[in-house]
Structure 1
Amino acid sequence: MKPSLPSRPPGFVYKSNKLHVEKIAASDLARRFGTPLYTYSATTIRERFDIFNRAFGKVPHTICYSVKANSNLTILKMLVKLGSGFDVVSGGELERVLVVDKKAAKKVVFSGVGKTAPEMDLAIKSDILLFNIESESELELLASRASKLRKKPRIAFRVNPDVPAETHPYISTGLREHKFGVPITDAALLYAQAASTEWLEPAGVSVHIGSQITDVAPFNATMERVADLVRGLRAQGHNIRLIDGGGGLGIAYRDGDTSLKAFEASAKNYSAALLPPLNSLGIHLLLEPGRAIIGPAGALLTRVVYSKKNGRKTFVIVDAGMNDLIRPALYGAYHEIVAAEPRGTGAETVDVVGPVCETGDFFARDRELTHLEEGDLVAILDAGAYGMSQTSNYNTRPRPAEVLVEGSRAKVVRRRETIKDLLGPER
């Protein structure tokens, strides 16, 4: 039986019955660097960024990659070289951007509902592009910090358009019952309040309705409401010249096509939804893709430790756990799981689980997979986004190494943690 993958980026293909990350066999990577192991295709990252960027080429725009999706420094440096800006949601993420390139701060937008005074100070001093303000209290604190530092940061309010989006409730952010943003009906008063302060410059409007959205209609409805708001704010004398459209464009985790051709069509559909309401406004558009760029570019390699039966259930126990990839446990998320070197001996229905002491420690339940034996290597695909960035040390488990592959070269971009690393901060 010849192994095959769902339509994938060119970074993950079978050659001579072996799964390859670009030109290197996954089994070779596992032997060299151990498992669990995050692997990324540099070519896929670069090509997906370029495709997304071209989709908005007709309008002034800046891609502000969502750092929370994957914050590895080497990947951030790659994106800087491609001309990317960044969306950050913490002072720590901003520090990562500054380590990579201090000049990149001028393309940073700072989102998040709980910015602290020290985080604000760092961002003000770094002269970031835009603060996305999410409450009146945050407005007051930012004005106070700006006054103390004698600098005038550019701001936008993240408005909540109350547009529903079909996605998991944990990553839906655009409804009135969510913690994010301010009601769009309150925006006029809040912009007037901001403009009355000496040390804030209202410059934009921000919106973000959620993550992993595959139907573009909600994006269009959102931009219609944002465009109306911008016209109203300009009529009141505010110089609104930036619109932050957020991120949220999803990928096909299950039974889908994540090839570059499919992504090009998806990105074009996304731009066709966002742009028409903004045509007459003459604005600069900010975009915050994360998963759409990095998701299909990564895979988690893990080795089968044991296989066992409990009654009618067959469990394949691997050396990665929910601390290494929490999405299935947290969201019930689906990831394709494939053998690195398929045996061609038929399929069986199994649960793929980890060693963590939780029933929720699973990667797949009742999944039909090619027969796997102890010692076999498997790849959990589309793990480039919200994989390593959500890892933990639960059960005192060191986090995996990360390897970036480009052609026939593999570079460790984060070494595997050791127990010494984990115990070091403790007294």
Structure 2
Amino acid sequence: METILKSIIDGIVREGHLEVSFASGKSAVFGDGTGSPVAISFLDKAAEWRCALRPSLAFGELIVDERIRITTGTLRDLLDVASRNIGTGTPRGLLSYLTPERRLFTCPARRNTVSLARKNVAHHYGLNHHFYQLFLDDDLQYSCAYFSDERDDLEAAQLAKKRHIAAKLLLANDQHTLDIGSGWGGLAIYLAKCCHTHVTGITLSREQLEIARRRADEEGLGARIEFRLADYRDVRGRFDRIVSVGMFEHVGARDYQDFFMRSYELLGDEGIMLLHTIGRSTGPAPTNPWIKKYIFPGGYIPSLSEIVPIITHAGFSIVDIEILRLHYADTLRAWSDRFALHRDEAARLYDERFCRIWEFYLAASEASFRYGGLVVFQLQLSKSLNAIPEARGYVERAEATLREIERRIY
């Protein structure tokens, strides 16, 4: 197996400097020698077998279980080398003869029923909210920030994200906005305070619901904001605006049609919907099995080719698409750095293995956004082509107005 694993690694690693020590005591160096050296050791032959047979699941598990040990460099360095190379060219050597792993191990997607959606949400968002406070910004924004200025820190970039979204929604006083996947309530509170809109926020997480309601009450916004424990399929009524940030990744490909048909029914005739979701700049691909098993069960990241036909079939006009490229990589780096600063507190809340899982998740996700073709889509949808101005300058003007409001409020 050592010979096979060497051939597989050689077929992947063309750039950088990766030294691998095997359980036999032998070692080999891969890459062109550029960049900072990274070295790892396999501690047993079974780990080598697992990594060769199903690397996308086993690699993360073996790192977390400390059966692959990083002896030179950091986890981020290792994942940077791996991700940079996986995205380059055609595999060489033995790897070029292997059936792509995604075909061997991909199963038909399940329908994301309401009960399954609740279970999947509880797996991730049911964690102690004090844990999320260790690495998120003060507003608990758990989605891609918007670094409008490279000098911005995480707080400024998350505020800029809310401002950017609000500007695209073109909100007027006393309009009614539906926030699908309202989380801990930060965006809804921003819209109510800065845009004087009424907001109905829905979530499947009881923990998030309790905190969001408490925050709205503390802000004196109880008359403007209603948070509900509800699935989007159970919402009734009509809304002037719909916004969904970081929730669509949990819908599942088999339920895209239901999601957009339901959103179309809920949106007023002159309404605007803003969908902010992780997406693939490449074609469709299965969810990484490690992420699916340990972080987001039921999660799926779409490509535009998958969702655009469904959006238009539902009746929507796509009036604008913006691709945020490295913004999420920078967000994840900020989260990872903050997590490292508060790692001891996270270990006290959970345990060391839990911390290693989250370290791998944050570092691997950052690498995927830097090198692996993951981006963030912001899609503006409407029933009318005339719902927004023809020139994009309205976004910048609205953001300038919102900045002035923020200065008075915050």
Q: Which bin holds the TM-score, normalised by the shorter protein? A: 0.3 to 0.5
More strand by share: 1
With structure 1 as the length reference, what TM-score do the two structures score? 0.33
More helix by share: 2
